[in-house]
Chain A
Amino acid sequence: MAEVTAKARRGRGGGFLPFLLLLPAVGLMLALYAYPFVSSIYRSFLGSKGALSVANYAKVRELYWRDVFFSLEISVLSTALAALVSIALAAYLRLSTGWFARFIGAIYRFPIFIPFVVVAQMMRTFLAPHGLLNIFLAQIGLVNIDAPLELLNWKGLTFGFVWKQAPFMALIVLSGFEMVDDTFIEAARSVGARLPQVIVRILIPMSRASISVALILAFTSTVGTFTLPYMLIGGQVPTTVTVDIAHRVTYFGDYGVANALGTLSYLMVLALAIYYLRYTVRKGIYEYQEG
């Protein structure tokens, strides 16, 4: 369909126009994004005397290796949890009607546009050992306030990321689910599929594109967020790569090591993308072709 329209258009001689329409935006992106992106990789290989070297990576290996893995673990964990929550939420909202569903559908979006700085501010007062959560749990007798839940660490950080990312992912996943026609669901139900089967066999496979977009957006912004880890766990050991980057730049003015850390964070995303692609290719396309 799209093929046909496109051919028709080109037949009318719009060949040159689309490029002109793209020009301003693409030019801006090349100058403002692609150039500094490439130069961040290039500079990570510049030694202190301006010659090519891997000294920056050696320093990363020596001082920040644990943080690199910590960042990766936190990001994978948060994104996975957020994905579970968001898929469950989206499935519920897709398949339910009624007062509760409408209300939940209205309030779950609340965190989407709250900036990370604000999230960090909130989590700091909410999750602290004598913060509101622990005080509340102590009041209802679930927690002894003298031995409170210790959440100002990777647990709290994960909670903060999930809190912020899951609703955003749910918004995207839900719109994917809504594009799945009711007849598929009805059909599955009529042959006796239960709720989990409807989700796993119908909704998820048919909304793969939306889910991958949600995953990539959430994972990337988790890897790249500075304020939440800085304001929540700061100088704890281990900490995230973003805190280290800010530390190198502000205390030492050392852009080399900062860029090496940055390049490693690109690699994390790339690794996820490749893993994910392989997984979906094996699971998805091959299944279709072979089966």
Chain B
Amino acid sequence: MFRSRLLVKSGEALMLILLCFFIFGPISGLVLWSVALRWYWPHVLPQEVGLDYWLQALGLRKSLAIGAVSITDSFNTSLIIALIVVAVVMVIATPVGYVLAKYNIPLKGAVLLLFLMPQAFPQQPVFVNLLLTFNKWGLAGTVPGVMLVHLMVSLVFAVWISSAAFKSIPPELEEAARSVGASAMRTFLRVTLPLAAPGLLASAVFVFLTSLDEFTGTFFIGLPFVTTLPMLLYSSSGYNLQFASVIAIVLLVPSILFMVIIERFLKAEYIGGMGV
């Protein structure tokens, strides 16, 4: 008995080590390159390290090194886009989630399919054609154009998760509120909404991160005038590895931060209820 427990524990430890190696191994390359000032073969580690590229990227030091551009502008662009997208998506997706959870409307399948499609089919060809349309409407290369694209891409998560959140609220609670005379509005605001709030928050986080990290749509629609962080990373990866690594790490921070938040609020039922 003791022996087999030991076996299990060492198996778990091995799994943990492997997992750490494969998850953090690739990331360690980024960290090394972001501080490497001189590094070439046959040296297996950087010959010279320093924070120069970090200081340049964060705008703390003005440098004329080639390929050094400040990331603060595109960071702000990314942030503003993501925040507004979250607000709009939540407002238009929450009612959809509510309807899908609480009503048995005709064509429900078709509606679900419509929201599923951007995640169910490759997006790139759609963006290529959306660009032609947006050119006509004057939306190509504008921030609202990019927001619309992010909106479209992230709507599905918001609809799914919020629908699952509403579904997990027992109808009896609402019935009870109604039966003691609360109006539908009041019931929704005082009973349904607070109960669904953690789920809605989780879906907001999902939408926020989707927007922050969106690349392909921004690439086709946003260029040349809208430079989000992933776009800046892409263009500098073509030139300056150190600088690109700095941006990559900056992009990791919100992911980690929100992974912690999401764990608090994302109940299993919300994700388990996706697409059902």
Contacts and interface: CB of A to CB of B under 8 A. Distances in A.
Q: CB–CB under 8 A between A and B in the complex?
A: yes
Interface of A: 2-3, 5-7, 9-10, 14, 18-19, 21-22, 24-26, 28-30, 32-37, 39-40, 43, 92, 96, 98, 100-101, 103-104, 106-123, 125-126, 130-133, 135-136, 139, 163, 171-172, 174-176, 178-179, 207, 209-210, 212-213, 216-217, 220-221, 223-227, 231, 242, 245-246, 249, 255, 258-259, 261-263, 265-266, 269, 273
Nearest to A262: B125
Interface residues of B, number: 85
Interface SS, A side: helix
A179 B276 CA distance: 13
B182 interface: no
5 contacts: A115-B215, A122-B26, A122-B248, A136-B25, A262-B126
B225 interface: no
Contacts of B13: 100
A133 B23 CA distance: 12
Nearest to A267: B121
Interface string B16-37: 1001101101111110110000
Nearest to B103: A18
Interface of B: 9, 12-13, 15-16, 19-20, 22-23, 25-30, 32-33, 41, 44, 92-93, 95-96, 98-99, 102-105, 111, 114-115, 117-130, 132-133, 148-149, 151-152, 155, 159, 171, 209, 213-216, 219, 230, 233-234, 237, 241, 244-245, 248, 251-252, 254-256, 258-259, 263, 268-272, 274-276
Given A98-B12, A117-B237, A226-B124, 14 more contacts: A5-B102, A9-B102, A21-B96, A32-B151, A34-B114, A43-B129, A101-B12, A107-B23, A120-B237, A122-B27, A132-B29, A171-B271, A210-B271, A220-B121
Contacts of B127: 36
B133 A216 contact: no
A168 B129 CA distance: 29
A33 B16 contact: no
A172 B237 contact: no
Nearest to B178: A12
A25 B96 contact: yes
B93 to A, nearest CB: 6
B121 A269 contact: yes
A83 B62 CA distance: 47
Contacts, number: 255
Contacts of B121: 37, 220, 224, 265-266, 269
Contacts of B33: 125
A223 B122 contact: yes
Given A25-B92, A245-B125, A112 B111 contact: no
Contacts of A245: 124-125, 128
B40 to A, nearest CB: 10
B248 A121 contact: yes
Given A24-B92, A113-B255, A210 B128 contact: no
A161 to B, nearest CB: 13
B195 to A, nearest CB: 15
A16 B103 CA distance: 11
A271 to B, nearest CB: 12
B257 to A, nearest CB: 10
A33 B30 contact: no
B271 A125 contact: no
B125 A263 contact: yes
A220 B82 CA distance: 23
A235 to B, nearest CB: 14
Nearest to B29: A125
B272 A25 contact: no
A148 B207 CA distance: 41
